[in-house]
Amino acid sequence: MPDIVSFVMQKMISTVIVGLFFLAGGSFAFDAERAVVVKIIDGDTLGITFQGRYEKLRLIGIDTPESRRNNRAWRQADQMASSLEEVVRRGKEAKRYVAGLLKKDMIVFVELDVQHRDRYRRLLGYLYLPGGEMLNEKLLREGYASLLTIPPNVKYRDRFVRAFRQGRRKSAVPLTD
């Protein structure tokens, strides 16, 4: 029962915050669309409901360490001159951090860039938390992600570089450029 109450309260709070933001004259300075969080896949990939259907959303401009042992985690370990276990540990930390910010059924906003999908058919976007803060940038600034700039989606590259530099100072393990 407490989970239901918690869920309802979180949903109400999210709705009220977003409503107050717009009532106070706030608006996003971009063309973002409403989405609903379904699940956290890892630090840079989420399951969302967007435009009426389930999508895997890959956050543009960032890369978090893998949270599972796989070929990509091995490559990241080589790039970071680190152990596979360290990569997976940091990947799990990034996923936990995102899970602490986003809850199932939370209303968020997604902004697309030039290229809407990657080669795996995942939606590519910038995700905004209910208060308007961009998750992609926050992950860089807090040291959970490294830069991954892939043209043509470079709209916030300069902002991300500044956030990444801040994050490198916070990160206990060196991140790659």
Check residue 21 and give its pLDDT: 45
Distance between CA atoms of residues 43 and 140, nearest Å: 11
Please report whether residue 174 resides in a domain: no
Looking up residue 81, the CATH number of its domain turns out to be 2.40.50.90
Please report whether residue 153 resides in a domain: yes
Residue 2 pLDDT class (50, 70, 90 cuts): low
Please report whether residue 44 resides in a domain: yes
Number of separate domains in the chain? 1
Query: In the predicted model, is pLDDT for residue 16 greater than 70?
Result: no
Token pair 């999908």 is found at 117
Residue 30 pLDDT class (50, 70, 90 cuts): low
List CB contacts of 40: < 8 A, sequence separation 6 or more. Answer: 46, 47, 95, 98, 99, 102
Check residue 173 and give its pLDDT: 47
Please report whether residue 25 resides in a domain: yes
Check residue 26 and give its pLDDT: 44
Query: In the predicted model, is pLDDT for residue 114 greater than 80?
Result: yes
Residues tagged active-site: 58, 66, 122
Please report whether residue 76 resides in a domain: yes
Please report whether residue 140 resides in a domain: yes
Please report whether residue 55 resides in a domain: yes
pLDDT tens per residue, range 73-108 = 888 888 888 898 989 899 999 999 999 999 999 999
Query: In the predicted model, is pLDDT for residue 126 greater than 60?
Result: yes
> Contact, 105 vs 7, CB < 8 A?
yes
The pTM for the full model equals: 0.79
Containing domain of residue 96, as a range? 2-169
Check residue 171 and give its pLDDT: 66
Please report whether residue 175 resides in a domain: no
Q: Which residue has the higher pLDDT, 171 or 57?
A: 57
Give the mean model confidence (pLDDT) for residues 126-147.
97
